[in-house]
């Protein structure tokens, strides 16, 4: 088992070697980073609006699901030809869509903030393209939400209209029944005061239910025909001239530490033998 004294002794005896390894690793890594494609990022912050919480998920979490939806992603890919930009051929590449999803996640990230908004970061070798992609992602997500919410609102509206029609038919039937009783048309049937009272109470209850349902139906109608936005932009997609990748200092530090560790291990093995 290696002792601390042996490690310190090896380091002390090979100080110049470690220094030389560090310099070579630093210079080599620094030069290699220039071979990597530089990337720039565009950042935007958005907030959910006109989204009603329907489950345990918050409004922000619901909005995030739409941003991450396959419909939004592939509509964006189609408009900006992202498959070709990322060098993916789905017709010949096995698992092309999975590869695209990976590449997309490497270039686009969306995460909630502490203030319940969403921060959208788009990376690309072209800063202008990153900004355009970010803006279009927000636009497409908002349109997807509009279509989805409008479709659901129309379904709710149609359902309430059918329920209202049934209420109206029942209400009309009860109304006619009480008119017959008051006019004494039904001579073959003797209706007691209690039965009259029951019919009148049914009319009142039916009318209250009808009024409540009518109010809800009007709300659904407004949601079905409006043109509300569901995404509000707190901070527009930025255009930057400062690269976010590669971070040369990080590459150099990691390479130097790796080279020093490898050199130390080799020297310790020799010294131990």
Question: DSSP state, 174?
Answer: H
Express each pLDDT in 144-203 by its tens digit. 888 888 888 788 888 888 887 887 777 777 677 767 666 655 544 555 666 667 777 777
pLDDT at 118: 94
Distance separating alpha carbons of residues 14 and 8, to the nearest angstrom = 10
Distance separating alpha carbons of residues 147 and 67, to the nearest angstrom = 14
Checking if the pLDDT of 91 tops 80, the result is: no
Question: What confidence tier does 108 reach under pLDDT thresholds 50, 70, 90?
Answer: very high
Tokens for 154, please give them.
Answer: 């129309």
Give the architecture (CATH level 2) of 35-241: 2-Layer Sandwich (3.30)
pLDDT at 36: 63
Every domain of the chain and the residues it spans: 35-241, 247-273
Checking if the pLDDT of 92 tops 70, the result is: no
Express each pLDDT in 14-48 by its tens digit. 788 888 888 888 887 777 766 667 789 999 999 99
E strand spans, the chain: 39-48, 108-112, 118-124, 231-235, 243-245
Instruction: State the Cα torsion 179-185-189-192 to the nearest 10°.
Output: 40
pLDDT at 257: 86
The reply to whether the predicted model has a pTM over 0.85 is no
Q: What percent of the chain has pLDDT over 70?
A: 84
The 10 Å CB-count burial string (b at 16+, else e) for 178-203 is eeebeeeeeeeeebeeeeeeeeeebb
């Amino acid at each position: 088992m290696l002792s601390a004294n042996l490690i310190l002794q090896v380091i002390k005896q090979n100080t110049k070697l470690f220094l030389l390894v560090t310099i070579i690793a630093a210079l080599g890594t620094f030069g290699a980073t220039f071979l990597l494609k530089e990337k720039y990022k565009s950042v935007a912050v958005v907030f959910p609006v006109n989204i009603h919480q329907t489950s345990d998920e918050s409004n922000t979490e619901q909005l995030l699901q739409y941003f991450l939806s396959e419909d939004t992603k592939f509509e964006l890919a189609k408009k900006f030809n992202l498959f070709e930009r990322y060098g993916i051929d789905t017709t010949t590449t096995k698992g092309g869509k999975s590869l695209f999803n990976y590449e997309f996640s490497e270039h686009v990230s969306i995460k909630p903030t502490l203030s319940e908004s969403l921060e959208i970061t788009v990376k690309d070798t072209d800063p202008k393209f990153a900004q355009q992609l970010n803006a279009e992602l927000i636009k497409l997500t908002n349109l997807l939400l509009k279509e989805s919410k409008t479709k659901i609102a129309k379904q709710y509206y149609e359902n309430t209209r059918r329920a209202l029609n049934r209420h109206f038919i029942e209400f009309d039937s009860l109304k006619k029944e009480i008119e017959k009783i008051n006019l004494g048309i039904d001579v073959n049937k003797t209706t007691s005061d209690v039965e009259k009272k029951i019919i009148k109470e049914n009319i009142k209850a039916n009318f209250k239910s009808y009024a409540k349902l009518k109010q809800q139906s009007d709300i659904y109608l407004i949601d079905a025909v409006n043109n509300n936005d569901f995404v509000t932009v707190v901070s527009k997609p930025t255009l930057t001239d400062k690269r976010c990748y590669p971070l040369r200092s990080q590459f150099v530090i990691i390479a130097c530490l790796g080279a020093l560790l490898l050199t130390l291990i080799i020297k310790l093995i020799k010294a131990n033998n």
